[in-house]
Amino acid sequence: MNRRRPGRLAVLLLAAAAALSGLTACGGGGGGTTVAPTVNAATRTGVTVTGPTADGDRPNPFSLPVFDLGAAGYTAQEYFFGGTATSYAPEPATTLGPDGRWTMKASRTASFKTRMLVLRPSDPKKFSGTVWVSWLNVTAGFEIGDFTRESLRDGDATVYVSAQKAGLDGVPGAEGNGLRKWDPERYGSLFHPGDDFSYDIFTKAALLVGRDRGKLPVDPMAGFDVKQVFGTGASQSAFRLTSYLDGVQPLTRALDGALLIANFGRAAAFQTATGTDAADEAFSRPPVRIRADLGIPTILVSTETEAESVYPARQPDTATFRFWEIAGAAHAGGGPDTIGDVVKLFTRDGLKLPTGSLGSTSGAVGATAAPNSLDWQPVVATAGVDLTRWASGGPPPPALPRIAIEGNPPRIERDADGNALGGIRMPDLEVPVATYSGTVPGASLMASLFGTMSPFPPSRLAALYPDRQTYLTAYDHAVDKAVTAGYFLARDAPSIKAAATANATALFPDH
């Protein structure tokens, strides 16, 4: 039931500070007028693009999706791009405060060469016109993308960008997970000056696949007619996109919309002492909002795991912003398709999770609980479809309830079974058979991301549902309610109901 639509962030920036003032005319978002460029994107940014890349020591690019792209009518091609990147610093009078209204300026420059992995329809006629630019996540010490099937249903293109240093070089003790050592023949020529430059590197990638890219000598979009470019990132990548939206988007006005997933209300640094900005460092900084004057459709999807962390940075829904918060869901939870794809990817590419500053994933749950398996990807799928419609001039997504939180420090309010109150109500919470938690008390941050699920004892199940059909009738009604409320897609309802029917056999074997 893996319906997660990758969100993708695209922005424009010239490498030199002097060029910033002239860039907005060819930008894509923020309500500005689009003017066709007189020179192509590679020339404007001083970037050289090569590709598609050839096989190296291994037969596939790093983190290539494990599902059959060809059967879905898609092609995956990898490109290298390099040049000079710019870092950012706040203007002298600017404080990087919690409201996100930051004024930034171009700072230093450095050379770089990195890659992008492009998924697009094999048939240009089936291209929707939408490009999602995805910031690859490096929390685990190597690149992980939201490689799921959702965007393939609508003919969108997805561009995965290796924007951070850890993606190329790995992390101490696990350097072999970095691109350069994982496949030296393919990736040995890549180099990264540090995460301070990641924002501009990401910008350049987005510009190279945007609608104003012009005629490129090597075109990662193969001449496709791009209409709108969105951005996305999950977890640590969403930290960085939060900083991008608050500090860089106002300079470029290039985004048509943004979909952020599970950002904990945190933002990444613009300047670091070591050249890398680990996820745990973001938690040492105060929570941050998405700036209210951003002016482009933006959706932030959050789970129960992040709820108490993001609470101080909660902001109201507006004409251009939606905050969706899913009760009962865990940051690293998901259905069997999600988990199965991750296992296949790790096995194929020979990846192992290093033990880092976020802690081990072992010992995450006790004997009476399992990792939280509540599948919240249908909500992300809906957010992606809604953002596309919204940015195209259609109606906004629904404003939905937030998880109930009270107290100081803030704590989630729960019902008699221990499930969270308020928020987006997944059918599994409306018709519960277990207690779902977004965190693991006492566990490391990494382990806590998986949450817990504690099945109800038979006596509680019998009290709630006299028989299997009672449960299924209630569950089907909850799915229909989610569709009506606007956080499930009608096209996903049959498969969600079918999965519940299959699970009910084990839950109610004697009925």
Q: How much is the pLDDT for 38?
A: 57
Reading the block at residue 253, the tokens are 């006005």
Residue 23 predicted with pLDDT over 70: no
Tell me how far CA of residue 60 lies from CA of 1, 63, 262, 347, 398, in angstroms.
Answer: 26, 8, 29, 13, 41
How is the beta sheet containing 130-135 ordered, strand by strand?
48-50, 74-90, 104-121, 157-161, 130-135, 228-234, 257-261, 298-303, 321-326
Pairing of strands 157-161, 130-135: parallel
Torsion (CA) 334, 339, 340, 342 in degrees, nearest 10: 130
pLDDT band of residue 233 (cuts 50, 70, 90) is: very high
Q: Out of 104-108, 175-179, 238-242, pick the least confident.
A: 175-179
Distance CA 129, CA 139 (A): 31
Helices (H) and strands (E) in the chain, counts: 17, 13
Mean pLDDT of the 10-32 span: 31
pLDDT tens digits, 424-462: 999 999 999 999 999 998 887 778 888 999 999 999 999
Distance CA 20, CA 43 (A): 15
Mean pLDDT of the 256-271 span: 93
Q: Out of 191-200, 258-267, 328-337, pick the least confident.
A: 328-337
Higher confidence at residue 431 or residue 373?
431
pLDDT band of residue 9 (cuts 50, 70, 90) is: very low
Residue 89 predicted with pLDDT over 60: yes
Higher confidence at residue 382 or residue 278?
382
Q: How much is the pLDDT for 150?
A: 72
Q: How much is the pLDDT for 35?
A: 43
Residue 8 predicted with pLDDT over 50: no
- Across the chain, what does the average pLDDT equal? 86
464 Cβ neighbours under 8 A, 6+ residues apart: 432, 433, 456, 471
Q: Is 152 exposed, middle or buried (0-12, 13-18, 19+ CB in 10 A)?
A: buried
Proportion of the chain above pLDDT 90, given as a percent: 68
pLDDT band of residue 13 (cuts 50, 70, 90) is: very low
Mean pLDDT of the 401-410 span: 95
Q: How much is the pLDDT for 278?
A: 63
Higher confidence at residue 357 or residue 250?
250
What residue has token string 């606007």? 486
Q: Out of 181-195, 272-286, 457-471, 489-503, pick the least confident.
A: 272-286
Higher confidence at residue 38 or residue 491?
491
Characterize 379-393 residue by residue with b for buried, 16 or more Cβ atoms within 10 angstroms of its Cβ, and e for exposed.
bbbbbbbbbbebbee
Residue 21 predicted with pLDDT over 80: no
Mean pLDDT of the 462-473 span: 96
Distance CA 141, CA 166 (A): 6
410 Cβ neighbours under 8 A, 6+ residues apart: 308, 311, 312
Characterize 102-138 residue by residue with b for buried, 16 or more Cβ atoms within 10 angstroms of its Cβ, and e for exposed.
bebebeebbebbbbbbbbbbeeeeebbbbbbbbbbbb
Proportion of the chain above pLDDT 70, given as a percent: 86
Reference 141, options 190, 117, 175; nearest CA is 175
pLDDT band of residue 55 (cuts 50, 70, 90) is: confident
Q: Out of 212-221, 350-359, 435-444, pick the least confident.
A: 350-359
Mean pLDDT of the 262-289 span: 83
Provide the whole-model pTM.
Answer: 0.89
Residue 356 predicted with pLDDT over 60: no
Mean pLDDT of the 163-189 span: 93
pLDDT band of residue 148 (cuts 50, 70, 90) is: low
Q: How much is the pLDDT for 476?
A: 98
Q: How much is the pLDDT for 44?
A: 83
Tell me how far CA of residue 370 lies from CA of 2, 114, 184, 218, 438, in angstroms.
Answer: 20, 39, 39, 49, 12
What residue has token string 């998880």? 403
